[in-house]
């Protein structure tokens, strides 16, 4: 397994400082060394630098549109390059507005993908339905073919084209969904495993049904967009929009183990870790180490243990 890491220290899809510090925190927690120790070839593409567009006044209520648009254009190019180099892309956020560039760049390189969106939130508001104007609550509306007629023209987004069909999207972990988002997901018949279905079915069934649904026609590369706030805030409190009643650590890791063994994982976003939102150092440590473990699960870490292929007893 070869992994290309992109740091995306970006926070302007929402209003809380700190989420831009996550890439360095995840690196400092040993992410790359541990990926290598479990047999991955890892290429670190470093952190992207983003331009802060001056006088970036709200457009149709959406905040920092020009800055978010410019950042995602850069991220799209970077992800496309990592995929063209033949790696599984890992995008370390940064807030979830980065999924716009990440998924756009991924599809530009490999064609249509299946999207597994693990999140407490649906992030499918349009600029006109959003109550906050924060674009991290809107990325899916920019990406879906079916919602293009609902998007007003947005400055610095003319590079962007829709690239995901609602039939190729599955949500896992939803529990804090706005009315407009609920309406949109029903209108588009999006496949949703909210926390109710996680409770009813158990995560093993959720993952089986997710893959059966996504593979109903062709098997596409999988883009896993993992918002750390999908996990219960008792485990991962250092995040911008925590919501009670989330995934256990075990459920969260199971998702990554399951998707790893499909062999189709092609890009992974790990977003919304915000070290400044932890009340204690332990809050931050628990959040960061869980994010690292989730990523390790995406690349073959097994809870029954791992050993390198060439291991032999002394
Ligand atoms: N639905 C809320 C909360 C969004 C949370 C974003 C996170 O999931 O990336 C909004 O639109 O502001
Ligand atoms: Mn999100
Ligand atoms: Mn979320």
For ligand 1, mutation pick of 22, 136, 228, 247 (most atoms within 8 Å of CB): 136
Distance of CA 211 to CAs 169, 214, 262, Å?
Answer: 11, 5, 9
Q: Residue whose CA is closest, atom 1 of ligand 1?
A: 137
Segments of the chain scoring below 50 in pLDDT: none
Which of 152, 227, 149, 131 is CA-nearest to residue 187? 149
- Predicted local distance difference test score (pLDDT) of residue 63: 98
Pocket residues for ligand 1 (CB within 6 Å)? Answer: 96, 119, 121, 123, 125, 130, 132, 134, 136-137, 178, 227, 229, 241, 272
d(CA 177, CA 235): 21
Q: Which residues are close to ligand 3, an ion, with C-beta < 5 A?
A: 119-121, 227, 229
pLDDT at 33: 98
Residue 222's pLDDT is what?
98
Instruction: Kindly give the distance from the C-alpha atom of residue 99 to the centroid of ligand 2, in angstroms, as a whole number.
Output: 9
Catalytic annotation, pick one of 20, 56, 95, 123 = 123
So what's the pLDDT on residue 48? 98
pLDDT of residue 56: 97
**Tell me, what's the pLDDT at 91?**
99
Q: Closest residue (by CA) to atom 11 of ligand 1?
A: 137
Q: What is the pLDDT of residues 78-115, one digit of tens each?
A: 999 999 999 999 999 999 999 999 999 999 999 999 99
* Ligand index nearest the alpha carbon of residue 269: 2
For residue 31, is the peptide bond before it cis, meaning its omega torsion is within 30 degrees of 0?
no
C-alpha triplet 13, 77, 296: angle, nearest 5°: 75
Q: For residue 311, what pLDDT is reported?
A: 94
pLDDT at site 73: 98
Alpha-carbon gap, residue 218 to 100, rounded angstroms = 23
Residue from 95, 181, 227, 283 carrying the catalytic annotation: 227
């Amino acid at each position: 397994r070869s992994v290309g890491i992109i740091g995306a220290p970006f926070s302007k899809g929402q209003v809380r400082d700190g989420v831009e510090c996550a890439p360095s925190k995840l690196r400092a927690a040993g992410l790359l060394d541990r990926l290598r120790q479990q047999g991955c070839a890892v290429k670190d593409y470093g952190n992207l630098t983003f331009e802060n567009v001056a006088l970036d006044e709200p457009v149709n209520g959406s905040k920092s549109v020009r800055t978010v648009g410019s950042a995602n254009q850069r991220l799209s190019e970077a992800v496309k390059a990592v995929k063209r180099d033949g790696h599984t892309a890992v995008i370390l956020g940064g807030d979830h507005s980065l999924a716009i560039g990440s998924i756009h760049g991924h599809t530009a390189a490999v064609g249509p993908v299946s999207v597994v969106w693990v999140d407490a939130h649906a992030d499918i508001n349009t600029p006109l339905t959003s109550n906050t104007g924060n674009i991290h609550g809107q990325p899916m509306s920019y990406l879906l073919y079916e919602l293009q007629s609902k998007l007003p023209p947005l400055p610095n987004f003319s590079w962007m084209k829709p690239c995901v069909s609602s039939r190729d999207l599955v949500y896992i972990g939803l529990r804090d969904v706005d009315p407009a988002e609920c309406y949109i997901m029903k209108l588009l018949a999006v496949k949703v495993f909210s926390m109710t279905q996680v409770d009813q079915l158990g995560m093993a069934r959720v993952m089986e049904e997710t893959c059966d649904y996504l593979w109903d026609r062709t098997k596409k590369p999988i883009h896993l967009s993992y918002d750390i706030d999908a996990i219960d805030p008792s485990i991962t409190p250092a995040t911008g929009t925590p919501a009670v009643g989330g995934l256990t650590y075990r459920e969260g890791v199971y998702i990554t183990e399951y998707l790893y063994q499909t062999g189709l994982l092609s890009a992974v976003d790990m977003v919304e870790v915000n070290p400044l939102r932890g009340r204690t150092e332990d809050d931050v440590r628990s959040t960061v180490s869980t994010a690292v473990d989730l990523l390790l699960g995406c690349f073959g870490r097994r809870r029954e243990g791992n050993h390198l292929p060439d291991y032999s007893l002394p």
